[in-house]
Amino acid sequence: MYHTRIKTLLTASAVMCSVSAHSAPMGFSESFMAMGDFNNNWRELNMNYATTPRDAFGLGATYMRADDNMKSRTLEEFTYTRLIQRWNLPHAQANLWFQGGIGALQGLDKTLAENHRFDKVMVTPGVQFDYETTRLYFQAAHRLYRATDINHDFTSLRAGFSFYESEYDKTQPWFILEARNMNGLSEKIEVTPMLRLINKNYFVEAGVNNSREPRLNFMYIF
């Protein structure tokens, strides 16, 4: 009875660690996390260091382009991530995160008459909520991308499921469907079905969006 109880607790602990690594925007205390998200109009690369189990500081670089190629933005920022609340449920985990940054924005607006270039300071506060079991996944995020006379607020929804349960140290395949939009750069909602391969300290996602453009994401904790 005692050994069964210990085994159950260890299994639950492994599941919760695995769940947390799947969707969290930061790793465990004193770990580095690298994240990337790439397609034609959105390219993002971030790295942060978790100073505590709830706080991480980092650097980010983002390239954004309008659907008609008439606007482009490049942002380099200092970032901060905070775990606001965590709910450990019997067979799942839910988290509420703050993610924000401040940095230098370089912009280009094209017109028939001229190309207008500018430099501004941009702030990017936002929140993310995620819920996950070993088989189901949901995430909602909204982040402000604001500078003087600029509003490129970003909203995304994700949902998915795993094809089968796997051991903590084994690679597990998931199907993920994401819908997202960036204000002022796109009039449409980008929808992307993706295959995710996930392990205890990394995941890789690949898919093709509703504009027939390839998309690649990754996350690695070290």
Where do the domains of the chain lie?
2-221
Q: Could you give the C-alpha distances from 188 to 29, 76, 105, 114, 211, in angstroms and in order? A: 39, 26, 24, 26, 10
Low-confidence ranges of the chain (pLDDT < 50): 1-21
Domain 2-221 CATH (choose: 3.40.640.10, 2.60.40.3140, 2.40.160.20, 3.50.50.60): 2.40.160.20
What pLDDT is recorded for position 23? 66
What pLDDT is recorded for position 2? 40
pTM over 0.95: no
Task: Give yes or no for a contact between 128 and 13, defined as CB atoms under 8 angstroms apart.
Answer: no
Among 88, 176, 177, which residue's Cα sits nearest to residue 133?
Answer: 88
Spatial neighbors of 165 by CB under 8 A, at least 6 apart, are 134, 135, 172
Q: What is the pLDDT of residues 47-65, one digit of tens each?
A: 999 999 999 999 999 999 9
Q: What is the pLDDT of residues 107-126, one digit of tens each?
A: 999 987 889 999 999 999 99
Q: Which two tokens stand for residue 96?
A: 């509420």
